[in-house]
Chains A and B, each alone.
Chain A
Amino acid sequence: MLEKLVLAFLIPVLIVGGLLFYLYLGEALIARLPRSRQGAIRPWIWLSPALLLLVVIMVWPLLQSFVASFQHVTGDAVTGPFVGIQNYITAFTDPQMLGSMVNNLYWIVFFTGVTVCGGLALAVLVNRVKYGGPVKTILFMPMAISFVATGVIWRFMYAYRPEDAPQIGTLNAVVTGLFHIPPVAWIFQQPGNNLALIVVGVWMFTGFCLVILNAGLRSLPEEVHEAARVDGATEWQVFSRITVPLLAPTISVVATTMVINALKMFDIVYVMTAGNFGTDVIANQIYKQLYSSRDLGMASTLAVILLVVIFPFMVQNVRRFHAQENR
Chain B
Amino acid sequence: MRSSVMRSSVQHIHKALLLGACSTFFLAHSAFAATADLEKKAFNYASSLVKGQKPGGKVSVFAVWSGVEQENFLRAIKPFTDATGIQVEYEATRDINAVLTTRVQGGNAPDIAVVPSISLLQEWAEGGKLTDLDGIVGTSVLEKNFGPGFLDLGGYKGKTYGLFINADVKGLVWYNTKTYKGPKNPKNWDELAAWASKTAAAGTTPWCVGVESGAASGWAGTDWVENILLRQSGPRVYDQWYQGKLPWTSNEVKSAFQAFGKVATDPKMVYGGPTTVLTTNFSDAATPMFGNPPKCFLHHQASFIPSFLEKNTPGLQAITGYNFFGFPNINPQYAGTIEINGDMVGLFKKTPQSALLMKYLASTEAQSIWPSLGGKLSPNKRVALSVLPNKMAAGFQKTLNGARSVRFDASDLMPDRINKAFWKAILDYVQNPSRLDAILQELEKTRQEVY
Contacts and interface: CB of A to CB of B under 8 A. Distances in A.
Contact of A76 (B97, B123, B215, B416): B123
B241 interface: no
B275 A165 contact: no
Nearest to B267: A162
Contacts of B105: 76
Interface in A144-161: 159-161
A294 interface: yes
Interface string B30-63: 0000000000000000000000000000000000
Given A76-B105, A274-B215, A277-B427, A292 B275 contact: no
Contacts of A75: 123, 127
B217 A274 contact: yes
Interface string B270-302: 011101101100000000100000010000000
12 contacts: A76-B105, A76-B124, A161-B272, A162-B275, A162-B288, A185-B279, A188-B275, A188-B431, A277-B431, A290-B98, A291-B101, A294-B417
Nearest to B450: A293
A188 B218 CA distance: 13
A188 B420 CA distance: 18
A42 B104 CA distance: 42
Shortest 9 CB-CB distances between A and B: which pairs?
Answer: A162-B272, A274-B215, A291-B98, A160-B279, A293-B417, A292-B420, A162-B276, A185-B275, A276-B427
A292 B417 contact: yes
A271 B278 CA distance: 15
Contacts of A190: 431
A270 interface: yes
A75 B416 CA distance: 11
Contact of A287 (B98, B124, B129, B273): B98
Contacts of B417: 292-294
Contact of B215 (A162, A270, A293): A270
A136 interface: no
B424 interface: yes
A288 interface: yes
Interface of A: 75-76, 159-165, 185, 188-190, 270-271, 274, 276-277, 287-288, 290-294
A102 B6 CA distance: 44
B214 interface: yes
A271 to B, nearest CB: 8
Given A291-B97, A291-B98, A291-B101, A160 B275 contact: yes
Nearest to B100: A291
B415 to A, nearest CB: 9
Contact of B416 (A162, A277, A294): A294
A210 B193 CA distance: 59
Given A76-B127, A161-B272, 15 more contacts: A75-B123, A162-B271, A162-B288, A162-B295, A165-B288, A185-B275, A188-B279, A188-B431, A271-B214, A274-B217, A276-B218, A290-B98, A291-B98, A292-B417, A294-B416
Contacts of B416: 292-294
- Most chain B CB within a 10 A radius of its CB, from A164, A185, A276, A294: A276
A163 B273 CA distance: 10
A168 to B, nearest CB: 11
A217 to B, nearest CB: 41
Interface residues of B, number: 29
Nearest to B275: A185
B97 A292 contact: yes
A293 to B, nearest CB: 4
A297 B417 CA distance: 15
A76 B104 contact: yes
Nearest to A288: B420
Interface string B406-443: 00000000001100100010010001000000000000
A276 B278 CA distance: 11
Interface centre among B97, B218, B295, B424 (most CB of A within 10 A): B424
Nearest to B449: A293
Contacts of A161: 272, 276
B427 A76 contact: no
B213 to A, nearest CB: 9
Interface string B197-231: 00000000000000000111110000000000000
A274 B427 CA distance: 12
A94 B97 CA distance: 24
Contact of B214 (A185, A188, A189, A274): A274
A162 B280 CA distance: 10
Interface string B98-131: 1001001100000000000000000110010100
Nearest to B120: A294
Nearest to A75: B123
A185 B431 CA distance: 12
A190 B101 CA distance: 33
Given A270-B215, A277-B427, A76 B129 contact: yes
A26 B87 CA distance: 46
A276 B424 contact: yes
A293 B420 CA distance: 9
Contacts of B278: 185, 188, 277
B343 to A, nearest CB: 19
Contacts of B279: 159-160, 185, 188
B104, B275, B417 pick with most chain A CB within 10 angstroms: B275
B345 to A, nearest CB: 19
A114 B417 CA distance: 36
A134 B253 CA distance: 60
Contacts of B123: 75-76, 294
B276 to A, nearest CB: 5
Nearest to A280: B424
Interface in B299-333: none
Contacts of A293: 416-417
Contacts of B420: 288, 292
B200 to A, nearest CB: 16
Contacts of A291: 97-98, 101
A160 B276 CA distance: 8
Residue of B129, B273, B417 with most partner-chain A CB within 10 A? B417
